[in-house]
Amino acid sequence: MMLEGKKALITGGARGIGKEIVVRFLSEGSSVYFIDINPSEFMDEYESLAKKTGAKVVFKQGNVSDEENITGVVEEILTESGGIDILVNNAGITRDNLLFRMTGKEWNDVISINLSSAFYISKIVARQMAKQKSGSIINVASIVGVIGNAGQSNYSSSKAGLIGLTKSMARELGSRTIRVNAVAPGFIRTAMTDKLNDAQKQALMTQIPLGRLGEAEEVAKVILFLASDLASYVTGQVVHITGGMGM
């Protein structure tokens, strides 16, 4: 198992890509502490996987956009776990709107959850990783943080900021043997994309050389690689998971 004996902290682990990250990590032997605003409907599946590999799965409710709240939750996890080896900053939301119509709240909500939360949590966890002189941090960005997207100025900005945070942390923490990388997914099949009509799906396909949407599991596999010792000489990188879009 690629992560046997490791302990991971994952934000936004209740559903979507976060759910697949939790499943993949548990399957590879890592204990998982995950934070979300709501409990996960997949907790039974998580606990079954943990039992098979002798790992542990623990849910902590927390608001990642509230610095005081999330600081308390993360410090509680660090105390309970005895130390975290892997941090995945995955929590994120969208509040899409055209620039002229976007409200200050729509902007601030997205920046707060997608970007500021990664700063709050990384700051705490990296301090503990520095003491143990090892660790891997993976930030879940997006291809729109690289190429931009109409109607998503808040989301694109938050993900571009997350890429900048990744590179800065990689430079700052490398001497402590802490690796920091990001993934930039493209169009991934979700409940939202399942609702698109054929014409809308075809319009998406024209932008993707591989001619299909990605799967959340495919994103989780790349994150697993970056978290593992297979990526021991990889830091400061942004891995595009896009089917060739945006290259």
Counting beta carbons within 10 angstroms of the beta carbon of residue 55, is it exposed (0 to 12), middle (13 to 18) or buried (19 or more)? buried
Distance separating alpha carbons of residues 210 and 42, to the nearest angstrom: 31
- What tokens were used for 67? 């610095």
57 DSSP β-pair partners: 32
- The token pair at 200 is 């809308």
Instruction: Single out the catalytic residue among 33, 120, 155, 233.
Output: 155
Question: Can 155 be counted among the known catalytic residues?
Answer: yes
Asked whether 84 and 134 are in contact (CB, 8 A), the reply is no
- Residue 154 contacts residue 106 (beta carbons within 8 Å): yes
**What contacts 24+ positions apart, CB below 8 Å, involve 80-83?**
80/33, 81/7, 81/9, 81/31, 81/33, 82/7, 83/7, 83/128, 83/132
Which residues are the active-site residues?
155
